[in-house]
Structure 1
Amino acid sequence: MSVRVRPTHCGLDAAIEVISGKWKVVILWALSDSHRRFGELRRLIGVSEKVLFQHLRELEADGIVRREASEDLPMRVEYSLTDRGQALNDALKPLGAWGREYLPARAVPVPVPRDS
């Protein structure tokens, strides 16, 4: 959901609106240090193509992510953070530090093998 569509009541409300969604903060983290192609993001994050595409479009509409398509064949599309996206990522770093310090580490679930 774009911030421009829904009125906000304060700055925090606007920020939460931009990062709402299960994968948006993870996408910001994945783009924090470099440009990434769609497939690379998908493998790194472990999310479906549909959900990743939807979240990237929303982040692009909010001015957080930049989509760059090359004219070479095969066509390459890379995603990166805009200046606004980098500023948002920087603003989220203290929140991440708080989470590491005050919340217990969760055990990573181990995949259960399926019977064939």
Structure 2
Amino acid sequence: MKAEYADSTQLDPGRQERSSLRASAALSLKMTERPAGNRVQRLADLAHILVREAETLASDKTFTEESNKLRTMNIAEGIDFYDEVTRFEIGLIKLALERVGRNQAAAARLLHIKPTTLNFKIKLYGIEY
């Protein structure tokens, strides 16, 4: 039987190629016939990645805008250190709150401060969110 197969492949060398092409086509067909759940999960994962990327771009834009404000200060006139620190803290707190969906406890974790400290600063600076 093996001899017959060997003889038939020697007579038709393209037979092995066609056979392997059929096998790879069947494999790719199986790959595209994945259960719908896997495709839905993959789509959900991609959507989550896209949302995170959009959030990152938004925070990068905010950081760039804040950096540009620093560059436009007239240092020759002097800088009110405490006003700048306050402005910086307010910007960070707002950014953290936006990032975590306005959850104070999660924002405090993100900022590495205690929730009570964050709550105090929100009230002190009159931050509305």
Normalised TM-score (structure 1): 0.31
Structure with larger Rg: 2
Which structure features the higher share of strand residues? 1
Kindly indicate whether structure 1 or structure 2 has the higher relative contact order, using CA contacts under 8 Å at least 6 residues apart: 1
